[in-house]
Structure 1
Amino acid sequence: MSLPVAVSLEQLRKQAKDLRKARSLKLSEAQFEIARRYGFGSWPRLRAYVDRVATAGSSLQHAFENDPDYYAERAEGLLASAADGTQEALAAFERWSAPLSPAGARLVVARNHGFTSWTALRRHVADLRAEPFARAFQAILARDFDGLRELLERFPELVTADGTNGNDLLGLAASTCDERLVAVLLEAGADVAHANTHGWTALHQAGYSNLPHMARLLLAAGAPVHRSARGDGGTPLAVALFWGNREVAAMLAEHGVVPRNLRTAAGLDDIALVEELWSSPEAGAHRGFYRPHGGFPAWRPSSSATEIGDEAMSWAARADAVGAISALHRLGASLDADVYRGTPLTWAAACGRVRAVRRLLELGAAPSAVGTFGGPRHGVGTTALHHAAEDGHLEVIEVLLDAGADPTITDELYGGTPANWASHGGHEDARALLLARGGTERA
């Protein structure tokens, strides 16, 4: 039996009464059986679901996590996305006439789930095990392919239903990085173009997680490469290049360099395109996207030619695009600018890009330049050596130390040296290397 998206409470009551008469059951027994047919653990849960549909409409979002903090984080992310100008997020606030504030974001999340208050949503998520969407989500987490198929066959509407912040089951499956789950959802008819309230699609997730095989599967099913998420120009390719994910970026670029701007050209190591765009108005086009999630601080890209060129150098560095690094340096881009959360050397070091680290240092990048990286509570007053140590990139550490990087420098937030960061990251080999090369530790 399908989910009761368009069924009224009166219709459900009639079904229960008819069943009671047909099988000589108690009314409570008939109601329980009707609830089970629809995939709910009790009549009150089914009735509450129908009430939520009446409140939120057919676009009801299904809760699927039991932790209330999950929904608080989704509200924060929704507000951040709206602040970035993402149309889907702004439309959610407009729908419920909610202010762009933390309280407004929580109200939007609650109303999208069919509740009139945040408190009511928190009560609801305490136990979701019996609801079909939540059960499908648990099957995804458990990699229970047969169980997921069974639920999709029993409740076909699940494949088009939305969870919190518009995340459908295909998007949730993609976030597990398991292409087998994605294949199950595609076979069931999932919409490969579906985007959540951030504009994020399953193909964005493949770009974000550097999953070329998943990207190939989605592209074969017709996934759009032009869709922007979290701001203008936030295509799957841009998301991939933000992290320097070269493998999936190369595949996506085969379907078009979208957007066509300087930072994308730099990340793809397309020297000819870098040179073509350097003095072109297109160089800074479609740069509304600048962060993949709200964990990064807010920023507003400008139309400054200097900023555009310096940012492109950072994107080249994280993708190990040494040809583009050289071309951008020749054209005038800075080797040490911290345009947004990281100098080129810091990005290259954090991503373990040894060739890029070597080339930047050869061209004159400062080995101990201090800057920012990641979220506002992560990298403040850090160096490339801190982040290479944090991720245990031994060869990068060696190259930086050989170039004169200071292994005793401390960051501004935690007062930690690179050896401290290596220890915190669980990389004892990196810690030992730093201490052997003159590094120190703070207690």
Structure 2
Amino acid sequence: MPTRNLPNDPHLDHLRGQAKTLLKGVRAGSSAAIALAAEFHPVSTLADAQLVIARSYGFPSWPRLVRHLELVDRYSRSPHQQPVGGPLDTPEQRADEFLRLATLHYGQDDPARQRSAVALLQRFPEVARSNIYTQVVAGDVDGVRANLDQAGVEGGPYRWEPLLYLTYSRLDAPNQLEIAQLLLGNGADPNAGYLWSGLPSPFTALTGVFGRGEGDQPPHRHRVELARLLLEAGADPNDSQTMYNCGPGCPPPYDDVHLELLLEYGLGRGDGGPWHARLTAAHPTPRQLLEDELVFASWAGLLHRAELVLAQGTDPEGVGTRHPVFGGQRPYELAAVQGHTEIAELLREKGAAPLDEVHEVYAAAMRGETPDVDAALAARALARLPHLPVRAAEIGRTEAMQALQRLGYDLGAVSGGAAPIHRAALNGHVETVRKLVELGADPEVRDPTYGGNALSWAEHSRQQAVIDYLRDLPRGTGTR
């Protein structure tokens, strides 16, 4: 049965309200409510409606959904919402400020925070000895030894275990590997983690070691050694947030260090570990993690990553491969359309089905060939992938621009938060920017989020060749 994702930071009162609304809708003859009940369970009582709501989110019963929400509440943390720069009048305030500054929290992380942590430590050296959490981050191995009875105790400003403060710290502190061994040998949980504002992908100790993510945070300087220590101690390699942070959740360039290590220790196998057991339907299975990784590797053109995943026996036609982030396309469709030829050939060897007629049109256009199609097929193509020109510009597929325009795409239109010229400028594809302008795209078009034009996108990523080209354009170029 098709299911939907729970809202971010879900609350029981909200879901109870959904059940009451469903029951009212069924009694009032609402077609949407009746269809939902028909899909999951007949509704005549509030208990029936609660069961439908639970099943629609992938849970077998209402009590199981309630239990899930209790777990979310137990593990939810919001470190990014804790401000810094407050009073430093007491030892406790100074210790908490030090920990907030020294660690990643995946909000507005900034290297300046770590520099401020060092400055605070220089001003108040005693902060390093405040408690086991500051000792871990400052590298005070003797202090940690004296407090090993607290190796698995939550505390500090984020209510984290000491191991999390160590793995999320980005200070250049000594003794990190020795301290990690001491903690793990004295009760620290190698699967320690938390749910960032209640989201169902746990930020584990492994997640902290590998860093990256949407803000492209640096990994721990001992990422491989620390990760191996955690995995040897029993950390489950099916780590969904690490896979996201080092994959679709971060910008290029990419390496495969995390993937090779996690595969070595069983990524894609087993029962998913304690976090999967806790979160059940809200958390991907080991197989789904590999399927999603194959989708991403095919989209991004990462041949070695695709080889690593396919070597595990991952089915290129698996049900999990229709990933919504990539328009519901199969790995082979993503690779073939974008011209990632080696990946496409590998996927076909592993059993991927051929392209349908719409994707054949896309592939031809992306090669720079003007597709000879009737109006109906062209309309289907435009409707299915409205963002294709943006993606083509993002990867610098200059030869595709005119073919896509002839197919019927508006190369100046904003789609998915940006126009093609914005993405080309951001990534430094000056020839693509030039071609878009020649074809009538307006370099002054503004994106809806930041209100930036093509020049501001280029300036944001310091793409000097694009900046120079755009600044030299006569006023009014590209406008229609």
Scaled by the length of structure 1, what TM-score is found?
Answer: 0.51
Deviations 1:145-174 (A, max 9, x none): 863322322221435242212322112212
The two structures, once aligned, show a CA RMSD in angstroms of 5.3
Conserved 8 A contact 2:299-2:331? no
Distance in 2 of aligned mates of 1:91 and 1:211: 42
Distance in 2 of aligned mates of 1:391 and 1:77: 31
For the residue of structure 2 that corresponds to 1:164, the secondary structure is strand
Conserved 8 A contact 1:173-1:181? yes
How far residue 425 of structure 1 moved from its aligned partner, in angstroms, is 4.4
Distance in 1 of aligned mates of 2:204 and 2:378: 42
For the residue of structure 2 that corresponds to 1:276, the secondary structure is coil
For the residue of structure 2 that corresponds to 1:207, the secondary structure is coil
Distance in 2 of aligned mates of 1:396 and 1:171: 36
Structure 2 unaligned residues grouped into runs of 5+: 1-5, 16-52, 83-91, 100-130, 134-150, 152-159, 196-201, 213-217, 273-282, 322-328, 337-343
Deviations 1:247-280 (A, max 9, x none): 533443343454426521123332684983445x
Equivalent position of 2:223 in the other structure: 181
Distance in 2 of aligned mates of 1:193 and 1:327: 49
Equivalent position of 1:266 in the other structure: 333
For the residue of structure 2 that corresponds to 1:371, the secondary structure is coil
Match of 2:193 among 157, 163, 167: 163
AA matched with 1:224: G
Match of 2:259 among 205, 215, 220: 215
Distance in 2 of aligned mates of 1:145 and 1:329: 63
Alignment of 1:39-50 (within 5 A): none
Distance in 1 of aligned mates of 2:370 and 2:259: 30
Distance in 2 of aligned mates of 1:204 and 1:143: 24
AA matched with 2:268: P
Match of 1:152 among 173, 177, 180: 180
Alignment of 1:5-154 (within 5 A): 77-79=8-10, 94-96=65-67, 98=69, 109-112=72-75, 130-131=132-133, 135-140=162-167, 141-142=169-170, 147-154=175-182
For the residue of structure 2 that corresponds to 1:235, the secondary structure is helix
Q: Percent identity?
A: 16
Aligned length: 304
For the residue of structure 2 that corresponds to 1:368, the secondary structure is coil
Conserved 8 A contact 2:298-2:332? no
Equivalent position of 1:46 in the other structure: none
AA matched with 1:397: V
Deviations 1:223-258 (A, max 9, x none): 217988499676222244455555533443343454
Equivalent position of 1:276 in the other structure: 353
Distance in 1 of aligned mates of 2:8 and 2:235: 23
Conserved 8 A contact 1:371-1:383? yes
Quickly say closer, same or farther: Cα 1:437–1:263, change in 2 above 3 A. farther
For the residue of structure 2 that corresponds to 1:347, the secondary structure is helix
2:382 is equivalent to residue 337 of structure 1:
yes
How far residue 213 of structure 1 moved from its aligned partner, in angstroms, is 3.2
Quickly say closer, same or farther: Cα 1:276–1:419, change in 2 above 3 A. same
Structure 1 unaligned residues grouped into runs of 5+: 1-74, 99-106, 280-304, 374-378
Distance in 2 of aligned mates of 1:254 and 1:204: 20
Deviations 1:184-240 (A, max 9, x none): 2223425464456xxx15445443353223322322232217988499676222244
Conserved 8 A contact 2:237-2:265? no
Distance in 2 of aligned mates of 1:268 and 1:278: 11
